[in-house]
Chain A
């Protein structure tokens, strides 16, 4: 399984990369970790005419907390972020979710930005971004757009990224007071999720929930948050009733994927189980954070 021919460019800086993209448009694909792109190229399901290798763009290799946000540059590898104490401290939800992401060698090369740009519906990080209300910085030669995660994931392998844009930075608000949880079920360790849930929520001094964010992956065509489901949890303590109402909304609004060997009804079932578990776990950590 060998890829088709392409021209290869290795820009030395971001400006050069953006110029190339603006020139080549849809004929070009960005190469960062390559862990999602190159299999597709080897299968020949994707045949870019130009491959823009951005692995030399050191300016995009950063991970720091600034102005209340965890700012992650496009060249941060999954492995680096998983091992990062900065990440574990600023966004423990991301750290926890990384336990489920792929395998060691894939994490060595794969980048967070690349993974988000690829937008596999069963990938964990898109759900984490939605739960955290992250913002993505999309840069083109024409300028910069800051797109909230909720507007970024459009469908299976489809995002708001334009052909001339690079997702150069992911900005995750640091919300240490909020509780968090991630849970997933997959066939084997490291596989894509059959269903995955990322939750953040806050608990007020009266025990009622606020700022609830429930994000799902692996269950439908894209990572998804349902505002009405979040609202079911807000403004009251976490109870069996509020959870049940929330699950009703989830079951009503999600078009559960039927895939070979994994039925929609099974997905619906485990989603309910995982959402409930994650809500309870997040509620628990929120209390501690208070």
Chain B
């Protein structure tokens, strides 16, 4: 065996799981060579500008485009009525018929909704043409307040065919809710207001479409997150068959969930390209992204109660929520389905009631934004736990520890049927407390007070569900018209005659690191140096299904797909090597990019050797399908553990069982007079199971926390009483800059999942699932003597001022 070390030294040890490999996506991004949608340039390409509605709610009486059409450089002008002849309503998951078109038809339902499209030689000219279009509107009563909107009738109703602005109203109850509340020693009830914020990536949504009239084929470049998933729906919308569309893969500049429901740009550019016979590009400017990108998050009013017994144990949770969905309902109650996956948080709460009313108003509609409701549910629950600690006079850490689901209790089934796979919540909290080192805080409080500052410490312990199942989107609807239950992920792996391993993935990059992760996983599975692995993107013509990056699923799912494809490849490579080397398959092992015989190390084949046989020497191999030419395997991996809900919804099934956990501890300093909060220390400990690339995970967590800081302290989409969006620029919608985001202390505990490949759990939504309650909790603590209790975000200086004034 001493010989083996000498013979093996030609190749480096393969880089595998748990190593912070540098990103292979970086070089082209750093040099400006990556292709984003606005970088696509095709000969003859024309540009689109959209005429936005100035009114929140109005009938379109007439549109006169004659002057616009004759402007030099304008190729085509299309109204909503004309577009509706070319394309059906945009895809939607809502089973109630709440129709949205790429251009408004008959009426406008929010400020900024596009009414007319102009195609011109340049975006400049297209925008010039907009000012020449005359639209006659009949204003209708604007629905800006969700409570009032729910009661509106007649002209106040947004969708006549629905007849009400209440798009959905569902009430669920699991476990002994009444018992828990009636028998409780203590019921803690609070109301909350969750603000409308949104992903606000640096890149807006867009598309470039071409139509080949001879082939009757569309090619559409768009920065959406789930090309393969949405393709059949977009095909349906365009009234063509799915095979008539190709979506090449494109880099996206951030999405955070929002680009998952990016339908408008691809549909619009497609019909315009078909109509004018030239490639057509539409990229939203920032104002359009904010008003008509369909990219706003949850916007909610809550009343929630926590039942607590005499020992301080949480026995029941009751949630009543109104959600202002804006003018359309593309993802249905998905963000509530999502939150229900972990509605009880990390606690043993055996009874859960959830009542939700989805209300349509004259605002931009909701998308999925990092957390997709899970972060809101976490906020509500953690706020209730803090309130319980305060009312009961208990220590908030001790109360959490008392109620945590214990290690031995996993897999743990929630009252609603979902499952938590594994976890060690006390260990995560203990590590966070250790890193936070709060011993010096009291001295700091006293010293700070002399400077007019108040110090506060906030704690949040939350679950981070990952690897979504599609039924979160429809399971709260008792009669869904399309009970989607497939969330697959595919990969193709081949070995070429040079011995290079080429991995093709079908999900786009938007800041996650699919190429790097795929390379690490492949190197691990095939035991090959990572430098030998090349990762490519495939387009939708491959036909391989890919749900894409969403719901913190991608790493887990691609790991399963790569494991499956690798198994198939290895099997074949084993067979070939066994035959060529005349040994038993069982004597062969993969190592360092070779297949080697254990008993005789001189008997070895490189990947290249094997591939040459597979590609060139068919007749040197036995007959039979096992030895067919080629060395390629694809694998489609489905959700490792998902079950359907029961018809009566007494169980929602298992829909999000891969569940991580995090503890965030935040120390804030609030300038008492100026009401301004800054973060002195931020500790985040996450348990996302087995980690593939630690520094990448850290990056996701920091980014998520930065977005959480934005939601907690700075961001809000504000509408005035006339339905005008008054925060319609990056100067008004304030995302954190480098001065608002502190350096952080991040650590990991790894409790593997029993259900996934390598025990990986998803963590992409990471920091944002925990940071808002941690920061709110810290601000409360800073004003604990005033008994401040934050129920609304963002806690801007002005908002904090009003909250403190209300206490006196």
Minimum distance in angstroms from A218 CB to a CB of chain B: 13
Evaluate contact between B801 and A265: CB separation under 8 angstroms.
Answer: yes
Minimum distance in angstroms from B404 CB to a CB of chain A: 37
- CB-contact partner of A1 in B286, B714, B740, B797, under 8 A: B286
Minimum distance in angstroms from A129 CB to a CB of chain B: 23
Question: How many Cβ-Cβ contacts under 8 Å join chain A to chain B?
Answer: 69
Evaluate contact between A5 and B714: CB separation under 8 angstroms.
Answer: no
- CB-contact partner of A2 in B124, B676, B731, under 8 A: B124
Q: Scoring B residues 707 to 736 as 1 if CB is less than 8 Å from chain A, else 0, what string do you get? A: 000000010101010000011010110101
A241 CB–B CB distance under 8 Å: no
Chain A residues contacting B718 (CB-CB under 8 Å) are: 260-261
Minimum distance in angstroms from A175 CB to a CB of chain B: 28
* Docked complex Cα distance between A158 and B805 (Å): 35
* Docked complex Cα distance between A3 and B805 (Å): 45
B739 CB–A CB distance under 8 Å: yes
* Docked complex Cα distance between A192 and B732 (Å): 10
Q: Scoring B residues 670 to 703 as 1 if CB is less than 8 Å from chain A, else 0, what string do you get? A: 0001111000000000000000000000000000
A249 CB–B CB distance under 8 Å: no
* Docked complex Cα distance between A4 and B736 (Å): 32
- CB-contact partner of B798 in A190, A191, A263, under 8 A: A263
Chain B residues contacting A1 (CB-CB under 8 Å) are: 127, 285-287
Chain A residues contacting B737 (CB-CB under 8 Å) are: 188-190
Chain A residues contacting B127 (CB-CB under 8 Å) are: 1-2, 44
Chain B residues contacting A188 (CB-CB under 8 Å) are: 714, 734, 736-737, 739-740
A187 CB–B CB distance under 8 Å: yes
Chain B residues contacting A5 (CB-CB under 8 Å) are: 128
Chain A residues contacting B727 (CB-CB under 8 Å) are: 260-261
Q: Scoring A residues 97 to 117 as 1 if CB is less than 8 Å from chain B, else 0, what string do you get? A: 000000000000000000000
Minimum distance in angstroms from B488 CB to a CB of chain A: 40
B606 CB–A CB distance under 8 Å: no
Evaluate contact between A260 and B726: CB separation under 8 angstroms.
Answer: yes
Evaluate contact between A261 and B128: CB separation under 8 angstroms.
Answer: no
Minimum distance in angstroms from B444 CB to a CB of chain A: 22
Interface members, chain B 728-784 (any A CB < 8 Å): 729, 731-732, 734, 736-737, 739-740
Minimum distance in angstroms from A256 CB to a CB of chain B: 12
Evaluate contact between B734 and A266: CB separation under 8 angstroms.
Answer: no
Minimum distance in angstroms from B363 CB to a CB of chain A: 15
- CB-contact partner of B802 in A194, A266, A274, under 8 A: A266
B190 CB–A CB distance under 8 Å: no
Evaluate contact between A187 and B674: CB separation under 8 angstroms.
Answer: no
B567 CB–A CB distance under 8 Å: no
A188-B734, A260-B726 known; A270 vs B673 contact (CB < 8 Å):
yes
B796 CB–A CB distance under 8 Å: yes
A140 CB–B CB distance under 8 Å: no
Q: Scoring A residues 256 to 268 as 1 if CB is less than 8 Å from chain B, else 0, what string do you get? A: 0000111101100
A15 CB–B CB distance under 8 Å: no
B123 CB–A CB distance under 8 Å: yes
A145 CB–B CB distance under 8 Å: no
A2-B124, A4-B128, A273-B673 known; A189 vs B739 contact (CB < 8 Å):
yes
Evaluate contact between A261 and B716: CB separation under 8 angstroms.
Answer: yes
Chain B residues contacting A269 (CB-CB under 8 Å) are: 801
Q: Scoring A residues 28 to 67 as 1 if CB is less than 8 Å from chain B, else 0, what string do you get? A: 0000000000000001100000000000000000000000
Interface members, chain B 455-508 (any A CB < 8 Å): none
Chain A residues contacting B739 (CB-CB under 8 Å) are: 188-190
Evaluate contact between B796 and A187: CB separation under 8 angstroms.
Answer: yes
* Docked complex Cα distance between A4 and B674 (Å): 42
A185 CB–B CB distance under 8 Å: yes
* Docked complex Cα distance between A194 and B671 (Å): 15
Minimum distance in angstroms from A216 CB to a CB of chain B: 15
* Docked complex Cα distance between A159 and B118 (Å): 38
Evaluate contact between B801 and A191: CB separation under 8 angstroms.
Answer: no
Minimum distance in angstroms from A275 CB to a CB of chain B: 12
Interface members, chain B 783-808 (any A CB < 8 Å): 796-799, 801-802, 805
Max chain B Cβ within 10 angstroms of own Cβ: one of A3, A266, A273: A266
Evaluate contact between A189 and B801: CB separation under 8 angstroms.
Answer: no
Chain A residues contacting B675 (CB-CB under 8 Å) are: 266, 270
Minimum distance in angstroms from B554 CB to a CB of chain A: 32
Q: Scoring A residues 187 to 211 as 1 if CB is less than 8 Å from chain B, else 0, what string do you get? A: 1111110100000000000000000
Chain B residues contacting A192 (CB-CB under 8 Å) are: 731
* Docked complex Cα distance between A68 and B740 (Å): 41
**Shortest Cβ distance from A262 into B: residue:** B798
Evaluate contact between B128 and A270: CB separation under 8 angstroms.
Answer: no
A2-B123, A260-B727, A266-B801 known; A185 vs B674 contact (CB < 8 Å):
yes
- CB-contact partner of B734 in A43, A185, A191, A274, under 8 A: A191
**Shortest Cβ distance from A263 into B: residue:** B798
A185-B676, A260-B726 known; A43 vs B797 contact (CB < 8 Å):
no
**Shortest Cβ distance from B732 into A: residue:** A260
Evaluate contact between B797 and A185: CB separation under 8 angstroms.
Answer: yes
Chain B residues contacting A273 (CB-CB under 8 Å) are: 673-674
Max chain A Cβ within 10 angstroms of own Cβ: one of B128, B714, B718, B797: B797
- CB-contact partner of A189 in B716, B740, B797, B799, under 8 A: B740
Interface members, chain A 143-185 (any B CB < 8 Å): 185
Max chain A Cβ within 10 angstroms of own Cβ: one of B676, B718, B801: B801
Max chain B Cβ within 10 angstroms of own Cβ: one of A185, A188, A261: A261
Minimum distance in angstroms from B124 CB to a CB of chain A: 4
Chain A residues contacting B720 (CB-CB under 8 Å) are: 260
Chain B residues contacting A262 (CB-CB under 8 Å) are: 796, 798
Evaluate contact between B798 and A261: CB separation under 8 angstroms.
Answer: yes
Evaluate contact between A43 and B287: CB separation under 8 angstroms.
Answer: yes
* Docked complex Cα distance between A4 and B49 (Å): 14
Interface members, chain B 270-304 (any A CB < 8 Å): 285-287
Max chain A Cβ within 10 angstroms of own Cβ: one of B127, B674, B676, B802: B674
**Shortest Cβ distance from A264 into B: residue:** B798
Minimum distance in angstroms from A45 CB to a CB of chain B: 11
* Docked complex Cα distance between A270 and B674 (Å): 6
Q: Scoring B residues 91 to 129 as 1 if CB is less than 8 Å from chain A, else 0, what string do you get? A: 000000000000000000000000000000001100110
* Docked complex Cα distance between A272 and B739 (Å): 26
* Docked complex Cα distance between A71 and B802 (Å): 44
Interface members, chain B 660-676 (any A CB < 8 Å): 673-676
Chain A residues contacting B716 (CB-CB under 8 Å) are: 261
Chain B residues contacting A185 (CB-CB under 8 Å) are: 674, 676, 797
Chain B residues contacting A3 (CB-CB under 8 Å) are: 124
* Docked complex Cα distance between A2 and B283 (Å): 13
Evaluate contact between A270 and B714: CB separation under 8 angstroms.
Answer: no
Minimum distance in angstroms from A234 CB to a CB of chain B: 25
Minimum distance in angstroms from B287 CB to a CB of chain A: 6
- CB-contact partner of A265 in B285, B286, B731, B805, under 8 A: B805
Minimum distance in angstroms from A121 CB to a CB of chain B: 14
- CB-contact partner of B796 in A2, A4, A43, A261, under 8 A: A261
Interface members, chain B 391-445 (any A CB < 8 Å): none
Chain B residues contacting A190 (CB-CB under 8 Å) are: 737, 739
Minimum distance in angstroms from B200 CB to a CB of chain A: 14
Minimum distance in angstroms from B128 CB to a CB of chain A: 7
**Shortest Cβ distance from A195 into B: residue:** B674
Minimum distance in angstroms from B735 CB to a CB of chain A: 9
* Docked complex Cα distance between A192 and B729 (Å): 14
Chain A to chain B contacts (Cβ below 8 Å), 8 pairs: A187-B734, A187-B796, A188-B714, A188-B734, A189-B737, A191-B734, A270-B797, A273-B673
Q: Which residues of B contact A (CB under 8 A)?
A: 123-124, 127-128, 285-287, 673-676, 714, 716, 718, 720, 726-727, 729, 731-732, 734, 736-737, 739-740, 796-799, 801-802, 805
Q: Which residues of A contact B (CB under 8 A)?
A: 1-5, 43-44, 185, 187-192, 194, 260-263, 265-266, 269-270, 273-274
Which 4 residue pairs of A and B lie closest in terms of their CB atoms, listed nearest first? A189-B739, A266-B798, A273-B673, A2-B124
Further contacts, 6 of them, CB under 8 A, given A2-B124, A188-B734, A263-B802: A1-B285, A185-B674, A187-B714, A260-B718, A265-B801, A266-B675
